[in-house]
Amino acid sequence: MSLFSWFKRQQPAEGKSPTEPVCLGAQFQEQMGWLRNSLKQCSDVHFHHLTANGARLGVVYLQGMIDQSLFDETILKPILADGFASSKAEFFYKLLDLKQVSTMSSTVHTDMNKAVQSVLDGNVLIVIEDESRMLSFPLTRFEKRAVSEPANENVIRGPRDSFVEDISTNLTLIRRRIKTPSLKMEQLLVGKFTQTKVVISYIEGVCKQKLVDEVKQRLSHIQMDGILGSSYLEECIEDHRFSPFPQTEKTERPDVAAAALLQGRVVIFVDGTPIPIIMPVNFYMFLQSAEDYYQRYFSASWIRWIRMAFLLTSLLFPSVYIAVTTFHPEMIPTSLLISVAAARDNVPFPAFVEAFMMEIAFEGLREAGIRTPKAIGQAISILGALVIGQAAVQAGIVSAPMVIIVSLTGIANFIIPHYDLAFTIRFLRFPVMFLAASFGIFGLMVGMLLIYIHMVSLRSFGMPYLAPTAPLRVQNLKDVFIRAPWWTLNQSTSHRNAGEDDED
């Protein structure tokens, strides 16, 4: 099976049924033999046989996944104590009502497949002689990263906690902020081998039920061997898989996820990853930062205008320079034209080739700075930006104006708060440069028109990508180009009004 077919979302096969339950009755030897056979060659799974008050017990657990001391104190000691049970038949009910285990709730299993899955989830499974029912106790304990400050979303005035890889901790961070029974958390298991916990969270009555049903339907169609991160799900449930524009939002901040839930959106948490995904989204969400809502409204509105201006700068600045210097030099003031011509006098390449080489070099330096260790990453950036750039200008390979333009373009791209949109702009910059080099300003306008037509055609879970500007919803523009004061915003209805666009 190829890599592409592994990632492909497939429709469920007709007539395919889930794994049939396996019930072996009260045969102790058969039960333990079945468990050993299912978990054979798993050296980290431990099997223990105990005898207490004439009854044989089988204990199965995963080493490193349980709290051994808690198991010894709350399970083993009471079982092995004299007088724990007067007969074999009483053992099950004594275990089920174990008073010493005040912080746990046991689960009863009769299906062997569910019993095995319970062991793999980190529970302790107890098999009792002459009893068809098995008990599992949640004694899970493993190393996990502590809640810390977000690494990729800088915080100035907002909360400084972030999600971690443990899904239970992440859900708790949301529950601390939204204290209502209307906050629903529905769990699914996705992945044939990984059986990854996926939780769909939404606020009932605020989020449209049609959206929740659509999310569940798309997740139910995913057939993959393993889910190791939220990005696996993202690629499988997008409306337009071949579009470069992001159609879901990712965040590592609990306050951002909580705000999305209050707006009527769905947040999907995946066990093992600290980055849940938010849906549906529109284009303008990627130009907004969580810091906008912790600053005064006029400051946040001004910063949004700055971001929009530099978004256009990041996309169009090299293309405009190429089009003007190649096809429309009359648009440049005479004194500036003389300076640009003098700087490009010894450059052997046309403006497009010069800009293309510089952009590729800048992309390489950016990637090198990300992948190299932090101790030398900054040194590489300085070396590439200063030494190599200055040497290229002195050698006559590139012109000084081009170095300035590429540098300003790179800085403008860093201003975009969301990495996914920033990468999309970096990607689209190259075809727009090619059109500008081929047809001048006309080609540049054609490129922008094609991008706009594509964005208008996009939908994120039924929501138009350019909502609320296309189609226009004037009442929903309070949090798009500006951030209106809080007393004019209605959090619980803002998204439901925007969601009406999907019915147009």
| Distances 403 to 15, 183, 362 between C-alpha atoms, Å | 62, 52, 10
> Tokens for 299?
């400051």
- Residue 388: what pLDDT? 75
**pLDDT per position as a tens digit, 296-352:** 888 899 999 999 999 999 999 999 999 999 998 888 888 888 888 888 888 888 999
Q: Residues 57, 49: contact at Cβ < 8 Å? A: yes
E strands, 167-309, in order? 183-190, 196-203, 249-250, 266-270, 277-279
The percentage of residues in the chain with a pLDDT greater than 90, rounded to a whole number, is 36
pLDDT at 104 over 60: no
- Residue 145: what pLDDT? 81
**pLDDT per position as a tens digit, 123-135:** 889 888 888 888 8
Tell me the pLDDT band of 392, cut-offs 50, 70 and 90.
confident
Tell me the pLDDT band of 94, cut-offs 50, 70 and 90.
low
**pLDDT per position as a tens digit, 415-454:** 999 999 999 999 999 999 999 999 999 999 999 999 999 9
Backbone angles phi, psi at 348, to 5 degrees: -85, -5
Q: Which residue has the tokens 């012109």?
A: 399
Least confident range of 79-88, 152-161, 195-204: 79-88
- Residue 178: what pLDDT? 92
Q: Residues 396, 298: contact at Cβ < 8 Å? A: no
Tell me the pLDDT band of 9, cut-offs 50, 70 and 90.
very low
Mean pLDDT of 392-416: 87
Cα 422 from Cα 438, distance rounded (Å): 25
**pLDDT per position as a tens digit, 10-48:** 444 333 334 677 777 678 888 888 999 988 888 889 898
- Residue 384: what pLDDT? 65
- Residue 70: what pLDDT? 81
Tell me the pLDDT band of 84, cut-offs 50, 70 and 90.
low
Cα 318 from Cα 436, distance rounded (Å): 9
pLDDT at 76 over 90: no
Mean pLDDT of 393-410: 86
Cα 465 from Cα 498, distance rounded (Å): 11
Better-predicted residue by pLDDT, 317 or 372: 317
Cα 374 from Cα 377, distance rounded (Å): 5
**pLDDT per position as a tens digit, 243-257:** 999 999 999 999 999
